[in-house]
Structure 1
Amino acid sequence: MYNLPVTASERLVDAARELLWERGYVGASPRAIQQRAGAGQGSMYHHFSGKPGLALAAIRRTAEEMRAAAERALGGGGTAYARVEAYLRRERDVLRGCPVGRLTMDPDVIADEALRAPVDETLDWLRGRLAGILREGVVGGEFDRALDPERTAAAVLATVQGGYVLARASGSAAAFDAAVDGLLALLAGRRTA
């Protein structure tokens, strides 16, 4: 699985990330994490205070990677519309769902303030980043002044998260693509040039 030497703590975090995405908090048992990581119980408890500590490290890593992937698309050159489009059309494993968004449906994550914090922070960051780009488009005259950057950013985020749900429900990425196409058509209708 690993080509370069990777520490046991890294293997444990990677295994926890995958299992949280696949099975949720309850399904990511310490035994399953240890088996997937090829690490023993002693190694897990040497590096982490227990399952909550390991889960928090895994959620933070997932959130960091999601922000980095979003920023690669949003931080590129071009118009505000082009940057939002790049974010919406970036490569994703749509049928697996969003690794951060899925955590919002996990009652154990939502009930734990520490585990929920990186999820909230990531979604808030993304909404804010999108709103900033859309605001640039309004101020620069690309979009008409009636476009509300904050509400539109919330709609972009909701479209992505809802698109994942629709794709998983139908078993087809086409549902995600249709949601993105619809949102981009609405957004294009607000362009002034």
Structure 2
Amino acid sequence: MPSTTRERILDAALELIQQRGFGGTAVTDIEERAGLSPGSGSFYRHFRSKEHVFGELFERELERAQQHRRAFERGPLTGDSQDALARRLLQQLDYMARIRPLITLLAREHGRFPELTGRIGDALLDRGIAEEADHLRRDLPGVSDDDDPHALLAVMVSALTGYHLSREFFGRPPADVDPARFAAALARLIAAPRPPS
């Protein structure tokens, strides 16, 4: 299905803002990249301003991120719970790769649009951790409120984020540990039997 002019403008703006930043991207650049005549005003038939297109980009990319999260494997971790948890951790790494455009926008422009950054942080990080903590408590044998699942998830998200950013920044995983090995090691740490309280 061919994309609408509005979607082409959003795609062009996303690509350019990731490359050049918000301040380095002109409306005429967005029009040209979207296949429109630069300076024709076509942009303004769909968006009031560059700020408006930026806000719409955040909304679209946030919705895409939430769609990816809804597709995660759920339910009790049966059989070898560490293997099942490692699969879910690999899902999380794939998720981070899929939401790269949103993360790039946040990294480049968080100071310019603090209200959007706050909303994204709340939706992806805070609510994401709360939802995943609930799944972890329900799905992983032996995890209870005494284990502080929110803190456990904060550690897990930080480890996944650090691994993902290392791969992005250096072009290879830390110590050349591939994603499957990383996920298996993190799953062992998370699912390790806990001493009785």
TM range (shorter): 0.7 to 0.9
Cα deviation code 1:115-151 (max 9, x no counterpart): 324422222232122111122146xxx0243421101
TM-score, normalisation: structure 1: 0.75
Partner residue, 1:116: 117
Identity %: 24
Partner residue, 1:133: 135
Partner residue, 1:49: 48
- Give 1:77 deviation, angstroms: 3.8
Q: Decide whether the 8 Å contact of 1:131 with 1:149 is kept in 2.
A: yes
Cα deviation code 1:10-60 (max 9, x no counterpart): 111122233444554345443333232213451211211211111111111
> For structure 1, which segment, 121-130 or 16-25, has the greater mean C-alpha deviation from structure 2 after superposition?
16-25
Q: What are structure 2's unaligned runs of at least 5 residues?
A: none
Alpha carbons of 1:189 and 1:94: their partners in 2 closer, same or farther (altered >3 Å)?
same
Q: Decide whether the 8 Å contact of 1:19 with 1:28 is kept in 2.
A: yes
Give the AA of the match of 2:77. T
Alpha carbons of 1:156 and 1:99: their partners in 2 closer, same or farther (altered >3 Å)?
farther
Give the AA of the match of 1:116. T
Partner residue, 2:61: 62
Give the AA of the match of 2:142. F
Give the AA of the match of 1:136. R
Asked which structure has the greater CA Rg, the reply is 2
Q: Decide whether the 8 Å contact of 1:12 with 1:34 is kept in 2.
A: yes
| Equivalent residue runs for 1:85-124 within 5 Å | 85-90=86-91, 92=94, 98-106=100-108, 108-120=109-121, 121-124=123-126
Cα deviation code 1:147-182 (max 9, x no counterpart): 211011212222222122111232114457254343
Give the AA of the match of 2:154. A
Give the AA of the match of 2:164. Y
**Which structure would you say has the larger RCO, counting Cα contacts within 8 Å and 6 or more residues apart?**
2
> For structure 1, which segment, 65-74 or 183-192, has the greater mean C-alpha deviation from structure 2 after superposition?
183-192
- Could you tell me how far apart the structure 2 residues matched to 1:160 and 1:171 are? 16
- Could you tell me how far apart the structure 1 residues matched to 2:133 and 2:23 are? 35
- Could you tell me how far apart the structure 2 residues matched to 1:134 and 1:35 are? 47
- Could you tell me how far apart the structure 2 residues matched to 1:88 and 1:21 are? 27
Matched residue count:
184
TM-score, normalisation: structure 2: 0.74
Q: What are structure 1's unaligned runs of at least 5 residues?
A: none
- Could you tell me how far apart the structure 2 residues matched to 1:60 and 1:68 are? 12
Q: Decide whether the 8 Å contact of 2:69 with 2:95 is kept in 1.
A: no
RMSD (Å), alpha carbons: 3.2
Alpha carbons of 1:100 and 1:161: their partners in 2 closer, same or farther (altered >3 Å)?
farther
